[in-house]
Structure 1
Amino acid sequence: MPTDNLWQRLRGWVKPAAGTPLTPASRPAVAGSSRVADSLRNLLDDPTIPATVRNELAADFGRIENMLAKLERGELHVAVFGRVSTGKSALGNALLGREAFTVGVLHGTTTDAEHAVLDEAQHDGLVLIDTPGINELDGEAREQLAFEVAEVSDLVIFVGDGDLTREELDALKTLAATQRPLLLALNKADRYGADELADLLAHLRLRMAGLVRAEDVIAVAARPAAQRVVEVDGRGHEQSHEQSRPPDVAALRERLLAIAAREGKTLSAINAGLYAGRLTDQVSARIAETRRAVAAKLIHNYCIAKGVAVALNPIPVADLLAAAGLDAAMVVQLSRVYGLPLTRAESGRLVAVISVQLAALMGAIWGMQLVASALKGMSAGLSVVVTAAAQGALGWYATVLIGRAAERYLVAGKSWGEAGAKRAVADIVASLDRDSILREAREEILKRLKLHHR
């Protein structure tokens, strides 16, 4: 069963992996929750985030809004997870004390996420979320579901009805890897005798070591089987009938209430903060992608301008000096694209540093530039066009290298990073297909030169 519809609904119940031990020492100060709430508001109101990025990540920003509201309401979100027919929905209803979730025995009963405030813990803001059965999904989709469940909840109740299957164990391991607080509810405990139940719980606690704490493996009976009652009337006749029994979920409810009262705000605040951090990384990545696209177009335009300027300039060596000015102007424009403006003097110094590294790596090419510059002044007719095109192509190539190197410098916050300028420029040179770039540049410049000579 696809999970798309489920997660369209679950997008409103936001939060990423965190996981903090449920100990009194981990309880945060109120100020901590306030700081997280302030950080969410700052992210939502950040004027530097482009509208295009906000639109692309609209669902994630919607989650942040809901997470902020959840923090302000002081809610703790609990996802109920497990196989079909283990009694997930019935357990949720038993904890709520009302029929909030659909209960059935066929696969697909819970095909969408539902949520309800726990009646007896409204002051603690405990919210239950029901989910589809994991055995309705293949392995990859089941793992995705497990991570999605962890993302939208503050803790998870995993429901089983006996010893765990391989499928259940794999899902539990996936959930445990998210560091989400995890409880294992052994449902349908009424089917076992006292000794048998004690043995099964001991076995599960041993098997869950390292995944679920022993005190968080709890026996429940969400919908106990009806009990056969035999009554004897006044004449000694026996009459039997089925008598329903109330749910037995008190131990699990008490555990949830204790967690909500002691750690609810901790879990919500930590999870909200981590999710906001992850969204901030996504926003930064999208902004960087946008900037890279703008920067690539800018570099290409300067390549054309420089290549043609070098090709058309008839004065030997002067064309190279003019090209250096174009490179400096390009770097100034790139610095504005990346929000780290450089002055013309700073840009010139940066171009000089890059050019020195390029000269060391590509002495032969720079020599060809000088020879071509000199030859161009002594040539005439078609030879001028051909020589100019060749030199223009080399100028194009140098601009690509200078632009990419300057871009790396700016992306790193006006720094070459750990590699240093020489290594950064060498990596860029190695990453370019020189023949392809020069061929493309020469064809473009020849086309423009021929147009110019008409």
Structure 2
Amino acid sequence: MRIWNRVRSALPAWWRKKAATESSGTADARRHWLAANRNLKSLLEDTSIPSGIRAELADEFEQIERITQKLDRDEVHVAAYGRVGVGKSSLLNALLGREAFRTSALHGETRREARADWQSLKDGQAVLLDTPGIDELDGGARERLARDVSLRADVILMVCEGDLTRIEHAALGQLARLGRTVVLVLNKADRYTRTELSALLQRLAERTRDWLPAEHIIAVSAHPRPEIILRTGPDGREEEMTRPREPDVKELRAVLWQLLEREGKVLAALNASLFASELDARVAQRIVAARRDLAERLIHKYCLAKGLLVAVNPVPVADLLAAAGTDIAMVTHLGRIYGFRMQRSEASRLLMTISAQLVALMGAYWGLNLVSSALKTASAGLSTTLTATAQGALAWYATYLVGRMAQTWFARGKSWGGDGPREVARSILATLDRDELLREARTELRNRIQRSSA
């Protein structure tokens, strides 16, 4: 696909693995950053994308615009991701050292994406993003938003408060398969004893060993419970007091900051390119689907036209000549749907190639067509209508096969592929229910003929 080819040329196959393990120089990071930005802007400005498909993907194109703006501002995004109530907002506040994100004792306080500037990188700005919980019972829209934000983020903090739930494990696996850089953050570590915490971290490492390096699993206490202390009063009695404790995110801050300084801009460029390639794939899929639907409607239109033409024309030779002209027109029209303009001579050569394969595979059909043609000439009255409808249905069927083969050839970029036209014809015939198609053709032709004669 267009964008992915440009991305692949800008980002060699070995680069992604190298970026995750080695320090990238400023010049290389800047080069990939600029390449990603060019790819995004070329996708936004691609005039070959039909307006209808662009409208269907309006949300995705809006996200591309936001990513482009992010790159223009030299921003690297870090998103907190996870279930409701695990302390995502508290974690971001602890990293910031100030209350920038709303927290509440009520679950689901974060209802939309929120952001705050964190610190300046040596050549950019780190930005923290908060997202809604991924397990809201009535939060399908919130979950989609959280996923979109995480896919746009350059580093994702997957926040949990214990062993991973089924939802968390599935979400983490999805992010890993998408190639996102993830740090698994075990929040509320102050609730566990040292022994319990060590066992829990080991359990998390075992469950995620195929996805995360061990150093990307970090325990924190973003909003620790107050410390209970005993104080002796003037009367000599001891009484319990509580004293707030400072958040413990030092290890996470150090690991995260080292990651951002070393690889932040490279990760941002890679993630932007990956997102652009994903959108380009969706655009391509929509274009393929739109062309396929339009081609199928066009083939049906020509099947009906050819079937009626053959059914109502009493001259057998004229039947065959008229049928050939209809097929050539259909092939030419199909070519335009797939972006190819064909001369009549080229369309005729393609039709001859297709017909040769069909003759080789369907000799019995052509014999039946000649018999039906002879029957129609010799018959009269009601029998003529019956045999004409039968021959029209056979003409319909032949045109359908020609259309399907031509559609396949155009969809493959005017190529039969490695197997050649014979195998294409064979595979199409193998997937068709010939009797059902002929039955439907006879029914529609008979109804059309009866309506026209009424």
TM category, shorter: 0.7 to 0.9
Match of 2:423 in 1: 423
Give ranges in structure 1 of 5+ residues lacking alignment.
1-17
C-alpha displacement of 1:338: 0.8
Match of 1:67 in 2: 67
What TM-score, normalized by structure 2, do the two folds share?
A: 0.83
Match of 1:313 in 2: 313
CA distance in structure 1 between the partners assigned to 2:304 and 2:206 by the alignment: 70
C-alpha displacement of 1:334: 0.8
Report the AA paired with residue 129 of structure 2. Answer: I
C-alpha displacement of 1:425: 1.3
Paired residue secondary structure (2:288): helix
C-alpha displacement of 1:184: 2.8
What TM-score, normalized by structure 1, do the two folds share?
A: 0.83
Report the AA paired with residue 274 of structure 1. Answer: L
Paired residue secondary structure (1:125): strand
Report the AA paired with residue 287 of structure 2. Answer: I
Match of 2:8 in 1: none
Q: What are the Cα deviations for residues 67-126 of structure 1, in whole angstroms up to 9, with x where unaligned? A: 111111222222223444443221111111221222233332334332222156697422
CA distance in structure 2 between the partners assigned to 1:162 and 1:366 by the alignment: 71
C-alpha displacement of 1:410: 0.6
Paired residue secondary structure (2:419): helix
Q: What are the Cα deviations for residues 288-336 of structure 1, in whole angstroms up to 9, with x where unaligned? A: 2222222222222222222222233333323212211211111011111
Q: What are the Cα deviations for residues 107-146 of structure 1, in whole angstroms up to 9, with x where unaligned? A: 32334332222156697422222234456559x9999788
CA distance in structure 2 between the partners assigned to 1:171 and 1:445 by the alignment: 54
User: 442-451 or 324-333: which moved more?
Assistant: 442-451
CA contact (8 A) 2:331 2:406 kept: yes
Q: What are the Cα deviations for residues 241-271 of structure 1, in whole angstroms up to 9, with x where unaligned? A: 6543433323322322222222112111111
C-alpha displacement of 1:169: 4.8
CA distance in structure 2 between the partners assigned to 1:37 and 1:121 by the alignment: 19
- Structure 2 residue 439 is matched with structure 1 residue 439: yes
CA distance in structure 1 between the partners assigned to 2:384 and 2:202 by the alignment: 90
CA distance in structure 2 between the partners assigned to 1:136 and 1:148 by the alignment: 16
Report the AA paired with residue 20 of structure 2. Answer: L
C-alpha displacement of 1:208: 4.8
C-alpha displacement of 1:240: 8.5
- Superposition pairs for residues 21-36 of structure 1, below 5 Å? 22-25=20-23, 28-36=28-36
User: 104-113 or 226-235: which moved more?
Assistant: 226-235
- Superposition pairs for residues 28-67 of structure 1, below 5 Å? 28-67=28-67
User: 342-351 or 313-322: which moved more?
Assistant: 313-322
CA distance in structure 2 between the partners assigned to 1:253 and 1:183 by the alignment: 11
CA contact (8 A) 1:335 1:342 kept: yes
After superposition, the Cα gap between the structure-2 partners of 1:237 and 1:43, relative to the gap in structure 1 and judged at 3 Å, is same
CA contact (8 A) 1:328 1:344 kept: yes
Q: What are the Cα deviations for residues 149-192 of structure 1, in whole angstroms up to 9, with x where unaligned? A: 64232222233445656665555444433332222334344556
CA distance in structure 2 between the partners assigned to 1:337 and 1:319 by the alignment: 27
C-alpha displacement of 1:412: 0.7
CA distance in structure 2 between the partners assigned to 1:196 and 1:179 by the alignment: 31
Paired residue secondary structure (2:248): coil
- Superposition pairs for residues 62-101 of structure 1, below 5 Å? 62-101=62-101
Match of 2:379 in 1: 379
- Structure 2 residue 106 is matched with structure 1 residue 106: yes
C-alpha displacement of 1:194: 7.1
User: 346-355 or 160-169: which moved more?
Assistant: 160-169
CA distance in structure 1 between the partners assigned to 2:428 and 2:327 by the alignment: 17
Give percent identity, aligned residues only: 48
CA contact (8 A) 1:358 1:425 kept: yes
After superposition, the Cα gap between the structure-2 partners of 1:321 and 1:125, relative to the gap in structure 1 and judged at 3 Å, is same
Match of 2:128 in 1: 128
- Superposition pairs for residues 255-294 of structure 1, below 5 Å? 255-294=255-294
Paired residue secondary structure (2:67): helix
Paired residue secondary structure (2:257): helix
CA contact (8 A) 1:90 1:223 kept: yes
After superposition, the Cα gap between the structure-2 partners of 1:359 and 1:247, relative to the gap in structure 1 and judged at 3 Å, is same
Q: What are the Cα deviations for residues 45-75 of structure 1, in whole angstroms up to 9, with x where unaligned? A: 1111111101111111111111111111222
Match of 1:368 in 2: 368
CA contact (8 A) 2:133 2:143 kept: no
Report the AA paired with residue 368 of structure 2. Answer: M
What count of residue pairs does the alignment treat as equivalent? 436
After superposition, the Cα gap between the structure-2 partners of 1:67 and 1:440, relative to the gap in structure 1 and judged at 3 Å, is same
Paired residue secondary structure (1:46): coil
C-alpha displacement of 1:405: 0.8
CA distance in structure 2 between the partners assigned to 1:164 and 1:310 by the alignment: 68
User: 93-102 or 163-172: which moved more?
Assistant: 163-172
Match of 2:298 in 1: 298
CA contact (8 A) 1:221 1:248 kept: yes
Report the AA paired with residue 320 of structure 2. Answer: L
After superposition, the Cα gap between the structure-2 partners of 1:166 and 1:403, relative to the gap in structure 1 and judged at 3 Å, is closer
User: 229-238 or 258-267: which moved more?
Assistant: 229-238
CA distance in structure 1 between the partners assigned to 2:390 and 2:42 by the alignment: 53
User: 160-169 or 282-291: which moved more?
Assistant: 160-169
CA distance in structure 2 between the partners assigned to 1:375 and 1:299 by the alignment: 27
CA distance in structure 1 between the partners assigned to 2:279 and 2:330 by the alignment: 32
Match of 1:14 in 2: none
Report the AA paired with residue 339 of structure 2. Answer: G
Q: What are the Cα deviations for residues 318-359 of structure 1, in whole angstroms up to 9, with x where unaligned? A: 321221121111101111111122221111111111111211
Alpha-carbon RMSD:
3.6
CA contact (8 A) 1:19 1:178 kept: no
CA contact (8 A) 1:79 1:157 kept: yes
CA contact (8 A) 1:71 1:265 kept: no
